[in-house]
Amino acid sequence: MIAPPKPDLVTVNIDGKEIAVPKGTNVIEAARLVNVDVPHYCYHPKLTIVGNCRMCLIEMGMPAVDPVTKAPIIDPVTGKPKINWIPRPQIGCGTNVSPGLHVKTTSPMVKDAREGVMEFLLINHPLDCPICDQAGECKLQEQSTGYGRGYSRFVEQKNVKPKRTQLGPRVTLDDERCILCSRCIRFSKEIAKDDVLGFVDRGSYSTLTCFPGKQLANNYSLNTVDICPVGALTSTDFRFKMRVWFLKQTNSIDTETSVGANTVVWSREGQIYRLTPRRNDDVNDTWMPDSGRELFKSVMSADRLAATTHLDARVAEAAELFTLNASAGSIAVVGSGRSSVEEQFLTKKLAAALKASTQLVSRVGQGDQLLISADRNPNVRGALVTGLISKLPKIGDAPAASRSANGDAAAPIRTGGLTDLAASIDAGKVKVVVSIGEDLVAAGLTAAQLAKVSVVYLGTHANATSAAAKIVFPTLSVFEKNGTFVNQQFRLQKFAKAVPGPQGATDDLIVLAKLTAAASSAAMASDLGSLWKLISAEIPAFATTSYAQLPETGILIDATPFAALPFVEGETLHYKPAAPAVALTP
Amino acid sequence: MNLKPATLHSIDEVITHYPVKRSATLPLLHLIQEDVGYLPPETCEWVAAKLELQPINVLEVITFYPMFRQKPIGRRHIKVCRTLSCALLGGYKTCEQFEKEFNTHRGEVSPGGEVTIDFVECLASCGTAPVVLIDDDLHEKVDCAKAKQLSDQIKAEAKKR
Amino acid sequence: MAAPAQRRIIFQHIDEPGYSNDLACYVRNGGYEVLKKSVTRPPAELIDEVKKSGLRGRGGAGFPCGVKWGLVDRKSGKPIYLIVNADESEPGTFKDRYIMHQDPHQLIEGTMISCFANNVKQAYIYIRGEMPHGARILERAIAEARAAGFVGKNICGTTYSCDIFVHRGAGAYICGEETGLIESLEGKRANPRIKPPYFPAVLGLYQCPTIVNNVETLCHVKYIAEHGGDAFTKIGTPNNTGTRIFCVSGHVQRPGYYEFEAGKITMGQLLNEVCGGPLPGRTFKAVIPGGSSAKILRFGERFKGKRKVGAEMVDYDWGVDDVPMDFDSLGMIGTMGGSGGVIVMDDTVNMVEALANINAFYSHESCGQCTPCREGSLWMKKITTRMVHGQARNEDAALLKSVADQIPGRTICAFGEACSWPTQSFIAKFGDEFKQYPETKKAAKPVGAHELV
């Protein structure tokens, strides 16, 4: 096996600790590696470096070298190499490590520099903390605790700037709070590729502005709210809703597309207040699309399904239906690319027990080459790996109504993949359809075809299929259960339960297990621990995977068995397709 | 944008001076301002389209540099220097004199629209302070008497028009 | 000892009756002969002469020109640019104005020689927007020179080609900072760049190696190309070679421009003999020797120490009058030679008001990019303006000093020093006046005093 190339390592000394870091690392990141936090505002690991906030100033020095012999000069007192400390502090973000670099992050010079910058940032900053959403997660508040003077010496008039500008449909701007770090401008230009923000005027009167007539309306606008170190850019939706220190944070995955952007769900007492991205340098960096954030709104929507009868009664009813249609092929199971790996595993077991055909609904749209991929199902690959399906579902031809939540004129999403099922229904072969969260009409079946079969529906929201279904099992959304998805990179990532589901809804795994048990007359586990024992035993790709030890940033699984399949995704932030993406025929 | 043919010709010519089009931003803004008298609202989008930029890039530049104005000014532009050397020799009185002569305040258009007086930073002729720039011409040693003289001259030239 | 005579090398023809700024006049006076000879010499030889000459930049920093040229990255394969910094905006400075308006060909010749020495194919003259006549004069001069083969293709009949374009600024002092200038030339807000990594010699205009030189500096290059670096070292004093054009303004009898050998004239000689001393009935109070960014000197101060003269260390004990006008001496006594702009204040001037005027300038000109300068300069301005027009407190002096102390060394560019040194030095030298200002401001102003803010 060829050993991976060793990164070029450089040895530096930070506060007396020696550490070897890859060449090209800046001092802030190097310090992080020895658990030293260098305060900063304008620096962001995923944006270009501007070095304008001056908060990361630290003391640096290089070993003294004899100019003629180039030999290091040793201090006779300490016996250690003499360090020429630079008399002026240097910014950590703009300095890359060099061999022998010595850094002091807590010297009197550094303390003085930080206190100076802190004071300067606060003199024109409005005293908005009591009404500012950023409180509790505000970098200015945090650094003031460490480096603030504690009282103000500024007795002049503070600058007045516009305070409540609607920068776009989802972002509100308060210019007085802005510390002119330019993170939002850099993000809009470099990442979102939507150069609409800039500073107008000069000096301390510089003001963040969106070009008049334009809006910060791209599908990544809320990332500027995440990266704004203060409360200048805030989410209009979240404004004044909740103090962040009351919110519980739960790790989750964006189910909008197969990118599988890592997220954090912020909730309190069973209610979700907002979604933010979670850093994963292999998947989504520190970003997520705005449209993915709005998905939590559906948790409490009016069309949420709730059961009125007892679970076991409905299971019994379903079992009866299955018995009446016991011949092979008279039951069809429609799985979902939105189901978790564990649910797909159980779906496969159920289909086997019912001697039913399996199919998946495809959901294909326009990729944006950033964090929205063409595949709008988060877990088609989970269905492949678990063996629920062996080939990709066909792409639907007629465009369905666009589900784009943020109102952008997105290309409509095509749902499809049920042509074989439609034919079987018309031929009279299939009499019962078990649908795991998929609206069969939206996926391509006609109302007439739907009328020909008895439907057992597991799902969260009402639709044409649930309305026509004989038995309905209301289940849980991604925010209300635990599980894993396999994203477009064949990365297994887990999501966790943030809030309890509504009364009357049951965990999908419990429903599937009970139905499987009823169909096969053998017990089936529904808890993740037991399920994963079975999964590891039966699915080669997961042979050595442990759910309990799955890291928060996921693991890649072996994708070679599926290499030849025509995946629809084109290039996104951290994904390059092996073969050119399948073109969508009009 | 309604620019004179000569201006458009100059614009196209000046863009060739630079390997990167964006560099022509300041020259274009100067040319447009000299043509129209100020930079009308459509300037940002027009220049952005011409130089393959975003309109915000142009707006950022217009508001950074004090010589660019987005509103019309008087027919004559009087810029009095306020920085130390000129102030030491009476620059503030000079400015007040002009304001009195034209019954206006700095930054505004005088009644009748003849002048706008601006109190600007060092004009780099400190040895002949106080210094005043009227349109493109530099006037040196402008004390109150000379300010009155220059004002009279401006008014006379206005009458002739 | 009497003041030496002026040595008008750069300013030889300024305000000379009958001298006009057209090519014919320049050529009649021997113009472009040096360029003709220079393009036949190996470029490296010219760079060597400039290094030997010890020429230091005349824009304000006094950085050795030969060293600056030596730092240029010649291995990258990228084109090398030369930018003439004609953004003369340092308060108190008014020398480049005369060169550009009255003797533009001298600048052009110096520029072309420098371009040839550094293998530059494209140069730009960045002239401040408030000199529209100057821009037109330069453009006309360049056109004349181009027609005569001194600019553009095949200079003086050789295979070397280099063109110059004039680029007008639009009223920002920070465009005088070399990386701010480069940003402005690229069509953006003039925000100076962080160094490292954006040293103009490596990553300058369009991320290509770039030389930025002041107008006067390039004119000296012409002299060096003609007479050699060694000859240049014989003008002026060791490490402060050549002539300097001093721009004297403020409260003297004869303000104006004066070209002397660096270090061969003292402040006292310059102000008293050459400029005629203070205005009638007044006495000198303070002088800023190198543009408003330089630290102020108080008449009556004494400076003592040892300095190197030749090979020996010699004691010095100077009053302000005794200070030789060169970079090193001025640097030694705690100020700087800067741009050569000498601003003189007499006893009618209240230092609080003078500082308020200066602070207003800097807060207006701050680009706003980095925190200490942006907020600090405006804070200092608000304090001094309040002291003059509002309520002055005895503790404001200490507050001003404390604010000013938090800025230098912490900023992206030298503007941090420029905006804070005035406050620091005014408080250090005239602290009592600041502390007593709440009382003094109520009293009547001295006769002849002017409003300053």
Rounded Cα gap, residues C72 and A196, in angstroms: 36
**What fold does the segment set A311-562 form as a domain?**
Rossmann fold (3.40.50)
Rounded Cα gap, residues B16 and A362, in angstroms: 53
Mutate to test the interface with B, among C95, C101, C173, C188 (most CBs of B within 10 A): C188
CA A555: distance to chain centroid?
Answer: 15
E strand spans, A186-287: 197-200, 207-210, 233-235, 248-253, 262-268, 271-277
Domain limits, CATH 3.10.20.600, in chain C: 237-346
Chains touching chain C, criterion 3+ CB pairs below 8 Å: A, B
Rounded Cα gap, residues C372 and C368, in angstroms: 9
Rounded Cα gap, residues A403 and A412, in angstroms: 7
Rounded Cα gap, residues A430 and A354, in angstroms: 12
Residue A457: enclosing H or E segment and its boundaries?
Answer: strand A454-459
Cross-chain residue pair B56–A202, CB shorter than 8 Å: no
Domain A9-106 has CATH 3.10.20.740: yes
Q: How confident is the model at residue A580 (pLDDT cuts 50, 70, 90)?
A: low
The angle, 0 to 180 degrees and rounded to 10, between the axes of the packed helices A139-147 and A108-123 is 130
Cross-chain residue pair C370–A199, CB shorter than 8 Å: no
Domain B5-64 has CATH 1.10.10: yes
A3-17, B54-68, C252-266, C359-373 — which is least confidently predicted?
A3-17
DSSP class of residue A192 equals S
- β-pairing verdict for C236-237 and C210-214: unpaired
CB count within 10 Å of CB A198 equals 26
Chains touching chain A, criterion 3+ CB pairs below 8 Å: B, C
Indicate whether this model's pTM tops 0.80: yes
Give the sign of the dihedral formed by CA C279, CA C284, CA C290, CA C295.
negative
Residue A203 has pLDDT above 60, yes or no: yes
Tokens of C237: 């004093």
Question: What is the reported pLDDT for A396?
Answer: 87
DSSP codes of every residue in C259-309: EEETTSSBHHIIIIIIS-SSPTT--EEEEESSSTTSPPEEBTBEEEEEEEE
Residue A468 has pLDDT above 60, yes or no: yes
Question: Shortest CA distance to C79 belongs to which of C197, C210, C187?
Answer: C210
Phi-psi region of C326 (alpha: psi -120 to 50; beta: other; left: phi over 0): beta
Q: What is the mean pLDDT of each run of 10 residues along chain C (453 residues)?
A: 91 96 96 96 97 96 96 96 97 97 97 97 97 97 97 96 97 96 97 95 97 97 97 95 96 97 96 96 96 96 92 94 96 95 96 97 96 97 96 95 96 96 97 94 90 92
- B54 — contact with chain A (CB < 8 Å)? yes
Question: What is the reported pLDDT for A71?
Answer: 86
Question: Shortest CA distance to A280 belongs to which of A257, A252, A248?
Answer: A252
Mutate to test the interface with B, among C208, C249, C284, C445 (most CBs of B within 10 A): C249
**Amino acid letter at A156?**
E
Q: Tokens 């960096």 — which residue?
A: A285
Q: How confident is the model at residue B159 (pLDDT cuts 50, 70, 90)?
A: very high
Rounded Cα gap, residues C439 and C431, in angstroms: 14
Q: What size, in residues, is chain A?
A: 586
The closest CB to that of B63, out of A196, A197, A200, belongs to: A200
Cross-chain residue pair A211–B64, CB shorter than 8 Å: no
Cross-chain residue pair C357–B123, CB shorter than 8 Å: no
Tokens of A537: 């035993």
**What fold does the segment set C237-346 form as a domain?**
Ubiquitin-like (UB roll) (3.10.20)
**B79, B69 Cβ separation under 8 angstroms:** no
> Which residues are paired to C256 by β-bridges?
C248
Rounded Cα gap, residues B52 and C198, in angstroms: 25
C450 contacts in B (CB within 8 Å)?
87-93
| Main-chain dihedrals φ then ψ at residue C125, nearest 5 degrees | -105, 115
Cross-chain residue pair A204–C383, CB shorter than 8 Å: no
Q: How confident is the model at residue A398 (pLDDT cuts 50, 70, 90)?
A: low
Residue B156 has pLDDT above 90, yes or no: yes
Question: What is the reported pLDDT for A72?
Answer: 85
Q: What is the mean pLDDT of chain A?
A: 93
Structural domain C351-440, CATH architecture:
Up-down Bundle (1.20)
Residue A269 has pLDDT above 90, yes or no: yes
**A114, A39 Cβ separation under 8 angstroms:** yes
The angle, 0 to 180 degrees and rounded to 10, between the axes of the packed helices B43-51 and B25-36 is 140
Give SS3 for A306. coil
Domain limits, CATH 1.20.1440.230, in chain C: 351-440
Domain boundaries of chain B, sorted by first residue: 5-64, 76-160
Question: What is the reported pLDDT for C382?
Answer: 97
Which residue of A lies nearest to C366 if distances are taken between CA atoms? A203
Q: Which CATH number fits domain B76-160: 3.40.30.10, 3.30.390.50, 3.40.640.10, 3.40.50.300?
A: 3.40.30.10
Residue A20 has pLDDT above 60, yes or no: yes
Tokens of A543: 């042979």
Question: What is the reported pLDDT for A397?
Answer: 76
Residue A401 has pLDDT above 70, yes or no: no
Closest Cα in chain C, distance from residue A120 (Å): 6
**C81, C211 Cβ separation under 8 angstroms:** yes
User: Residues with Cβ < 8 Å from B115, sequence gap 6 or more?
Assistant: B74, B75, B76, B77, B78, B98, B102, B104, B109, B154
Residue C243: enclosing H or E segment and its boundaries?
Answer: strand C243-250
CATH class of C23-234: alpha beta
Question: What is the reported pLDDT for A585?
Answer: 56
**Amino acid letter at A245?**
W
- β-pairing verdict for A483-486 and A491-495: antiparallel
The tens digit of pLDDT for each residue in A544-576 reads 998 999 999 999 999 999 988 999 999 999 999
Expressed in angstroms, the distance from the first to the final Cα of chain C is 39
Rg (CA), chain C: 22
Torsion of CA C75, C76, C82, C83, to 10 degrees: -140
Rounded Cα gap, residues C125 and C214, in angstroms: 10
Cross-chain residue pair C374–A94, CB shorter than 8 Å: no
User: Residues with Cβ < 8 Å from C287, sequence gap 6 or more?
Assistant: C250, C267, C271, C296, C297, C299, C320, C342, C343, C344, C345
Give SS3 for A304. strand
Cross-chain residue pair B89–C364, CB shorter than 8 Å: no
**Angle, vertex CA A243, rays to CA A238 and CA A244, nearest 5:** 85
Domain limits, CATH 3.40.50.11540, in chain C: 23-234
Tokens of C110: 């110096």
Mutate to test the interface with B, among C90, C94, C120, C346 (most CBs of B within 10 A): C94
Tokens of A304: 């949420």
Question: What is the reported pLDDT for A407?
Answer: 45
Domain A126-242 has CATH 3.30.70.20: yes
Q: A402 vs A189, which has greater pLDDT?
A: A189
Cross-chain residue pair C375–A202, CB shorter than 8 Å: no
CB count within 10 Å of CB A551 equals 9
User: Percent of chain A scored above 70 by pLDDT?
Assistant: 95
List, in sequence order, the alpha helices (H) in A267-336.
290-293, 311-324
For chain A, the maximum distance between any two Cα atoms, rounded to a whole number of angstroms, is 96
The tens digit of pLDDT for each residue in C387-409 reads 999 999 999 999 999 999 999 99
Give SS3 for C312. strand
Q: How confident is the model at residue A3 (pLDDT cuts 50, 70, 90)?
A: low
Domain boundaries of chain A, sorted by first residue: 9-106, 126-242, 311-562
Question: Shortest CA distance to A107 belongs to which of A168, A178, A16?
Answer: A16
Question: What is the reported pLDDT for A409?
Answer: 41
**C199, C168 Cβ separation under 8 angstroms:** no
**C225, C49 Cβ separation under 8 angstroms:** yes
Rounded Cα gap, residues C265 and C268, in angstroms: 8
User: Residues with Cβ < 8 Å from A241, sequence gap 6 or more?
Assistant: A273, A274
Give SS3 for A522. coil
Cross-chain residue pair B56–A209, CB shorter than 8 Å: yes
Tokens of A384: 């492949």
The tens digit of pLDDT for each residue in A318-367 reads 999 999 998 989 999 999 999 999 999 999 999 999 999 999 999 999 99
Quote ipTM for the complex. Answer: 0.97
CB count within 10 Å of CB A241 equals 11
Question: What is the reported pLDDT for A514?
Answer: 96
Question: What is the reported pLDDT for A402?
Answer: 47
**A307, A474 Cβ separation under 8 angstroms:** yes
Expressed in angstroms, the distance from the first to the final Cα of chain B is 27
